[in-house]
Structure 1
């Protein structure tokens, strides 16, 4: 309550210990959100692969798949964008938004999925916004329900619905914002949502933000008129600008950036809205890298291990697969005392807190299965579930979680707008092919023995000396443990085997050749 009074009076809020740290380099831009020194959010943007989620394109319908109830739209990418019929219908507001009736709201004709092929036939132009970037072999996913985020408002040019974020909970404040929303000069057929950061802000800030967003939409309309499809008509702001828009709230004490141009740009953006907020933005020119100075780099290195330790001594193991993300919870060093149930509950509660944090840090999306340690008490299970729900409320991505099942599993979904951070930073290991394991020396030896038996029988009348090239580790095992088997092969087929170790050979690879001609011999 005191903080809200200070906000209304224009006084600075009490310190929260929250910081935003930006590292701007030529190849990569990184932003970290710290809460009392702990890394809570982390984003990366590279100069070679800008984020396209939020960008708007003028596209052309290439084909319609009635079975999928979807169309594919050429927006200028290698793979056509996927537009589901439901994403081409004027959408209702999200459940997290309270809809507010505005004066002079006209009711248009209701459009259904069966109308879409008639409205957007093959060859027609369509204005779409990217909701999910290309992932793997899939092209981007798009919608015709455009939205443009400002500092305090979200503008929806093809919607007549307006509302207020339900995360603003105080009833008097909601009444005040409803009044402001109804008094805004919003053109007919356009919708507006008041964002959570609008809580406690003065009416003139909303007027200014609306004017900015309407000007932005006017520029998009001009681009649509002037350029042929496919083309981009609006580019989502870069990481620096999005940071100011989405993260710089009253709860942030300081923004520190190591690039002078980016710092000045942020100061200018913030100054257009709040002069006082400009004092929160600082340029860092220290000798050490900024992420080292603020302790971010070590936390990043620790956070992205497969195994993440908990304060109690337990740990979680995170495995990302194509189908889902599996998270296993273990007691680890937290063996506890006599009260085993209390130890298990403590570990599971810490795990729930850390899982919610890791989902944000790693930008993990899709289906997530948490395998918690079995709890006999329904009360304990409910406590872990409630904590997970509470922690997920902080997530800007849409999430859904269901209670722990009888098997001790908690199922969650998280909106997947783009590749996870691990997919951005890492690639499949070229040695193991992404499996994470290689065949043992014994397995390779068994396969080699099997192939040699076939080859020597096949060529026993024509080739009498055979050379085998293989990895030195496998060769060592052959000499130490399988020598008798190899001698038996030579005796059986009256041939001679010559082996050569090559460090460049993969652990699972071997080549069988004619020692005289060098020709490879296939089984």
Structure 2
């Protein structure tokens, strides 16, 4: 990379985080123009291929490894589409444990499992059935994105285990092998299942399930038949199954065989640790961020990969050489002096992702607020251009819907999201908006459901929650307001002081009293500037003398009364 982009060295660097309520404006047109210029640097052959694509997407992966925690961003035509970062918190999603049943809750139809971590894991009875029946899927956890292929006839309903048999088969104290399908979120412990999956680049091994499957995102009929034929030739143990991932589309059989062998070796190591384990413990963790990026992100759709750390560059090229050598020419070492995320307009887009208010290109805005129960999104027309147009409200909602779905993915928002769109009277417009959201969500790798607009113009989106949202990872609850986001007003605190003074006055009804009122300096300044008349009236009415003092260490919601 060129060394031409340099900034003068500063003697002092000041940083001040912007309030989350402050909108962060990103010039998307300029960013897309810059990405278009970079796309022209590709080889002539690649540019000719792009001419025949309906959807022209220039996909770049930026890997920032010079910091203590690595960060990875994926942009499409310059616009940030995915962002992941390492954190100092242990991520349990995908980890496999040897556990011990600690408690059975018949009312919840669930077990609590000691997995050797700080909190016990939650295991629903439905998630124990795969272990009992040797099946990875049932009507309660079936994945609609996978076509199930049975290598052998399924067990009859008479012989299949039911949830009523779980307490008998797994009493308290039983050992069980489980995998985390949801990390610790907030005060809740992880959720686990007995349906174990080991993802590879092209395949997912299901070592405790005989069922196999093919991703429905592979739409070509002939390709699906080819993969079914390969499945019959794979040397797969009878008690195991595999799922063909989307990346297996067009993949040679030798690559699939190699991927399967890697996964089988991984499972053998897990079984060896299991046999040696004396009690609940961790058997397997998901690979590092870089390994997951190589496995899941660096597909043929990626046009360029930039890495700013030589050690990471060497690691990635070595791994890619083993599994996809044709991708090597796309991986470059970034050498500019400007930080890679700043150079390619990633940092400003991350800042926008952390903001509460997101401006829309045509003048409207969306407001996103995450709570423990759900995420609320409000769509405002604001200064939207085109107010005279009869369809401008529909256009605002379409524009907002596209950005909302992008933000949900970027922020890794799980659970229930309620979107308050601008009200539309026409049933056709409401239906088209719903269909548009459905279409946009098809590219989300996380299982997501969307429901039609209610009579109040609200749309419900349910997205499977595996790990904490980006907001929860990068922000800690405010140590001052305990995460509430609000403080008691100075007027309300003055009412509390009056209540305490009245109580003291009642205990000694006749003698004059003198008190020192100690408060935060901000409170004292405000009270003496706004409540002087009220203070004098209280002193006269209750025969009190008040001396106001300040303590900078005192919380603005607290006060001390000292009798003098």
Paired residues of 1:135 and 1:419 also in contact (CA < 8 A): yes
Q: 1:190 matched to which residue of 2?
A: 240
Paired residues of 2:359 and 2:366 also in contact (CA < 8 A): yes
Q: 1:73 matched to which residue of 2?
A: 113
Describe the SS at the equivalent of 1:116. helix
Structure 1 position 294 matched with structure 2 position 344: yes
Instruction: Report the alpha carbon displacement of residue 227 of structure 1 after superposing the two structures with TM.
Output: 1.8
Q: State the Cα deviation string for residues 208-232 of structure 1 (Å, max 9, x = none).
A: 1111111111111111112222111
Q: State the Cα deviation string for residues 179-221 of structure 1 (Å, max 9, x = none).
A: 2222222110211110011112112111111111111111111
Paired residues of 1:445 and 1:474 also in contact (CA < 8 A): no
- Which has the larger displacement, 137-146 or 470-479? 470-479
- In the TM superposition, 1:417-428 aligns within 5 A as 417-428=466-477
Paired residues of 1:58 and 1:75 also in contact (CA < 8 A): yes
- In the TM superposition, 1:28-67 aligns within 5 A as 28-46=69-87, 48-67=88-107
**Unmatched 5+ residue regions in structure 2?**
1-44, 51-55, 131-135
Describe the SS at the equivalent of 2:70. strand
Q: 1:520 matched to which residue of 2?
A: none
Q: 1:486 matched to which residue of 2?
A: 535
In 2: Cα distance, 1:337 partner to 1:347 partner: 10
Instruction: Report the alpha carbon displacement of residue 448 of structure 1 after superposing the two structures with TM.
Output: 2.3
Instruction: Report the alpha carbon displacement of residue 13 of structure 1 after superposing the two structures with TM.
Output: 6.2
Paired residues of 1:105 and 1:188 also in contact (CA < 8 A): no
Paired residues of 2:150 and 2:210 also in contact (CA < 8 A): no
Instruction: Report the alpha carbon displacement of residue 105 of structure 1 after superposing the two structures with TM.
Output: 5.3
Q: TM-score, normalised by structure 2?
A: 0.85
- In the TM superposition, 1:206-285 aligns within 5 A as 206-285=256-335
Structure 1 position 313 matched with structure 2 position 363: yes
Instruction: Tell me how many residue pairs correspond in the alignment.
Output: 504
Q: State the Cα deviation string for residues 420-451 of structure 1 (Å, max 9, x = none).
A: 11111111222222222223322222332333
Q: 2:520 matched to which residue of 1?
A: 471
In 1: Cα distance, 2:95 partner to 2:60 partner: 28
Instruction: Report the alpha carbon displacement of residue 461 of structure 1 after superposing the two structures with TM.
Output: 5.1
Paired residues of 1:54 and 1:235 also in contact (CA < 8 A): yes
- In the TM superposition, 1:75-474 aligns within 5 A as 75-90=115-130, 91-92=136-137, 93-102=142-151, 107=155, 109-340=159-390, 342-459=391-508, 464-474=513-523
Describe the SS at the equivalent of 1:201. coil
Structure 1 position 497 matched with structure 2 position 546: yes
**Unmatched 5+ residue regions in structure 1?**
1-8, 516-523
**Residues 491/337 of structure 1: CA separation in 2 closer, same or farther (3 Å cut):** closer
Q: 2:32 matched to which residue of 1?
A: none
Which structure has more relative contact order (CA 8 Å, sep 6+)? It is 2
Q: 2:9 matched to which residue of 1?
A: none
- Which has the larger displacement, 471-480 or 157-166? 471-480
Instruction: Report the alpha carbon displacement of residue 262 of structure 1 after superposing the two structures with TM.
Output: 2.1
RMSD value, Cα: 2.2
In 2: Cα distance, 1:424 partner to 1:337 partner: 39
Q: State the Cα deviation string for residues 337-363 of structure 1 (Å, max 9, x = none).
A: 3224x1111111011111111111111
- Which has the larger displacement, 218-227 or 431-440? 431-440
Q: 1:519 matched to which residue of 2?
A: none
**Residues 481/458 of structure 1: CA separation in 2 closer, same or farther (3 Å cut):** farther
**Residues 477/273 of structure 1: CA separation in 2 closer, same or farther (3 Å cut):** closer
**Residues 229/464 of structure 1: CA separation in 2 closer, same or farther (3 Å cut):** same
**Residues 325/258 of structure 1: CA separation in 2 closer, same or farther (3 Å cut):** same
In 1: Cα distance, 2:102 partner to 2:147 partner: 37
In 1: Cα distance, 2:526 partner to 2:275 partner: 71
In 1: Cα distance, 2:349 partner to 2:530 partner: 46
- Which has the larger displacement, 219-228 or 436-445? 436-445
Q: State the Cα deviation string for residues 250-294 of structure 1 (Å, max 9, x = none).
A: 110122222222222222222112211122222223222221122
Paired residues of 2:99 and 2:279 also in contact (CA < 8 A): yes
In 1: Cα distance, 2:264 partner to 2:203 partner: 11
Describe the SS at the equivalent of 2:383. coil
Instruction: Report the alpha carbon displacement of residue 334 of structure 1 after superposing the two structures with TM.
Output: 0.3
Paired residues of 2:294 and 2:320 also in contact (CA < 8 A): yes
**Residues 66/152 of structure 1: CA separation in 2 closer, same or farther (3 Å cut):** same
Describe the SS at the equivalent of 1:437. coil
In 2: Cα distance, 1:189 partner to 1:55 partner: 21
